[in-house]
Homo-oligomer: A and B are copies of this chain.
Amino acid sequence: MAVKRGAGDEVVTTTPATAAPDLDGPAVRERARAIPEAAVARLAVYLRVLSGMVDGGVTTISSEELSAAAGVNSAKLRKDLSYIGSYGTRGVGYDVEVLVSHIERILGLTRKHSVAVVGIGNLGHALANYGGFPSRGFPVVALFDVDDDLTGVPVGGIPVSHIDEIEQVCASREVSIGVIATPPPAAQAVCDRLVSAGVQCILNFAPVVLQVPDHVEVRKVDLAVEMQILSFHVARRADEASAEQAANGMVNGVGVEGVVIRP
């Protein structure tokens, strides 16, 4: 993998910048947003697929193949890639390694992002032991808990620190991403401490809405919400099926399974 030197090149249009004078209304928004958030999420998926391809010895790939592997529309894939520049060859496809390096650059993965996990319970243990983070450029460098029985105990190779050391430890270990895996009532307080320790990105597993300053980015993973979305689809499907059956006046068992719909 060729590490490209600085020499900014033309480089994508990170900031169109054409229309500088914008609305500086009451709510101060960030500047022109370059890449749609949805596209960023997909770029991360493409990167994972491409990494697997590199390992498999693939050197070139077309948008059709890559989009199939990533589970998206090929037009969407090409549009997503166009946000980061034109690195394909018409009639041929994309050089896998080139694409990987450019996506990594855009996602900011040329830099390591140190992670701290707060709340070393069931979930915290799993996260601390997970090898998928360090291998993708997100080394876990600190663990925190209030439980005195846990402090000092190594989990995943890292000793747990007491929550009261959070500001000091986060600063000294240059933590840039904080993961909250505490019970819900403690989440906001932990979040506040992370913020005051200078952490600007937070991944929150506790089912609570966190209040943070504008400059802090929060993403939440709420499994109950995921379940409920699935539940919604089940219900909708059941509604449709029953409506259809009512319309047809017919009861037709669908192949796979005998799903019993209670009247």
Number of this chain's copies in the complex: 2
Q: How many residues of chain A get a CB closer than 8 Å to chain B's CBs?
A: 92
Pick the contact of A13: B14, B48, B73 (CB < 8 A). B73
Q: Nearest chain B CB to A64's CB is how many angstroms away?
A: 10
| A225 to B107 CA separation, bound complex (whole angstroms) | 10
Stretch in contact with the other chain, from A55-63, A90-98, A143-151, A193-201: A193-201
The answer to the question of A231 belonging to the interface, with a C-beta cut-off of 8 Å to chain B, is yes
| A230 to B44 CA separation, bound complex (whole angstroms) | 11
Say whether B198 contacts A255, CB under 8 Å: yes
**Using Cβ atoms and an 8 Å threshold, which residues of chain B touch A79?**
none
The answer to the question of A25 belonging to the interface, with a C-beta cut-off of 8 Å to chain B, is no
Residues A240 and B40 in contact in the complex (CB < 8 Å), given A130-B122, A132-B207, A255-B198: no
Say whether B48 contacts A224, CB under 8 Å: yes
| A80 to B106 CA separation, bound complex (whole angstroms) | 34
The answer to the question of A189 belonging to the interface, with a C-beta cut-off of 8 Å to chain B, is no
Please give me the residue from chain B that is nearest to A256 by CB atom: B198
**Using Cβ atoms and an 8 Å threshold, which residues of chain B touch A210?**
71
Please give me the residue from chain B that is nearest to A12 by CB atom: B233
Say whether B107 contacts A235, CB under 8 Å: yes
Residues A6 and B217 in contact in the complex (CB < 8 Å), given A209-B49, A224-B44, A227-B115: no
Residues A229 and B219 in contact in the complex (CB < 8 Å), given A130-B122, A256-B196: yes
Please give me the residue from chain B that is nearest to A241 by CB atom: B6
Say whether B126 contacts A122, CB under 8 Å: yes
Say whether A41 contacts B225, CB under 8 Å: yes
Which A residues have a C-beta under 8 Å from some C-beta of B? Answer: 5-8, 13-16, 30-31, 34-35, 37, 40-41, 44-45, 47-49, 69-73, 106-109, 111, 113, 115, 122-123, 125-127, 129-130, 132-133, 136-138, 171, 174, 176-177, 195-201, 203, 207, 209-211, 215, 217, 219, 221-240, 243-244, 255-259, 262-263
Q: A45-B225, A48-B225 are in contact. List 6 more A-B contacts (CB 8 A).
A: A8-B240, A16-B73, A41-B229, A44-B225, A108-B235, A176-B256
